Amino acid sequence: MAASKQTLRNQRYQEKAGWTSKSYKLKKDLVEQFAKACEKKGVSQAGQLSKMMKEYIAYVNEAQSD
């Protein structure tokens, strides 16, 4: 079955914009707690993960420069 035109457009946009999909194995209870916490705060899970990743990268880079 061929992908729809909309799917192909989305794929091209995501590729051009630098988006990628990652898959990680995590404990179910941790993932569920994270989803609930994000819902309580009204933030997306992807957005919160991105924020935490950026903070960790900055932390590591600062520690390495010392």
Nearest to 45 by CA among 54, 56, 32: 32
pLDDT of 21-46, one tens digit each? 889 999 999 999 999 999 999 999 99
| Residue at 32: amino acid letter | E
Please compute the mean of the pLDDT values over residues 2-8 and round it to a whole number: 89
Q: Examine the pLDDT at 53 and tell me if it is beyond 90.
A: yes
Q: Examine the pLDDT at 1 and tell me if it is beyond 80.
A: no
**Residue 3's pLDDT is what?**
83
Q: Which two tokens stand for residue 59?
A: 């932390």
How far are the Cα atoms of 2, 43, 48, 55 from residue 35, in angstroms, in the given order?
33, 10, 10, 19
Share of the chain above pLDDT 90, in %: 79
Q: Examine the pLDDT at 55 and tell me if it is beyond 80.
A: yes
User: Are 38 and 44 in contact, with CB atoms under 8 Å apart?
Assistant: yes
